[in-house]
Amino acid sequence: YDYNILNQVSTYIAGGAIDIVCLYKKKVLDMWLTINATVFELKKGIIDPFFVDQLIRYIEWTARLIPVT
């Protein structure tokens, strides 16, 4: 198993940035397979419903921008 931690992943198309992304990988047949991605958005206080929708868009665009290796 291995992991990569990416900081401030830009999602300009969705209009913002994800604070931290952690990619979890497993070696299968001498190739690294990304098995999971965890996204952390650091905020103070309670997140309002509008921001939850925006955060979902950030996560979707981050998934499209991160190369699968």
pLDDT tens-digit profile of 4-61?
A: 887 766 655 555 666 777 888 889 898 888 888 777 777 666 767 777 777 777 777 7
Which distant-in-sequence residues (6+ apart) come within 8 Å of 38 by Cβ?
Answer: 21, 22, 24
pLDDT surpassing 70 at residue 67: no
| pLDDT on residue 36 | 80
Instruction: Look at the chain and report how many structural domains it folds into.
Output: 1
| Domain span including residue 9 | 2-65
| pLDDT on residue 48 | 73
| pLDDT on residue 11 | 56
Amino acid at site 44: K
What stretches of 1-69 adopt beta strand conformation (E)? 2-11, 16-28, 31-40
CB 9 within 8 A of CB 58: no
Give this prediction's pTM.
0.52
